[in-house]
Amino acid sequence: MGQNDLSEYVFERDRIEFSLGDTLDMKTGLLLAGLTFLAIQSSSLMASTPPLPRAQFILQALSIAFIVLGGIFCAIELWPRDYMREAMPDEYEVWIAGLDEYRKQYPDVEIPGLPAARFSSAKQRIQTNGAINKKKSAFMFLAFYSTVAAFAANLATMTMRLF
Query: How confident is the model at residue 116, as a pLDDT?
Result: 78
Which are the contacts of 112, defined by CB distance < 8 A and separation ≥ 6? 120
Residue 60: which of 48, 35, 43 has the closest Cα? 43
What pLDDT digit, counting tens, does each position of 10-37 carry? 999 999 999 999 999 999 999 999 999 9
Residues of the chain where predicted confidence (pLDDT) is lower than 70: 1-4, 92, 111-114
The domain spans of the chain are 3-162
Rounded to whole angstroms, the Cα distance separating 150 from 39 reads 9
Phi, psi of 87 (to 5 degrees): -65, 155
Q: What is the pTM of this model?
A: 0.83
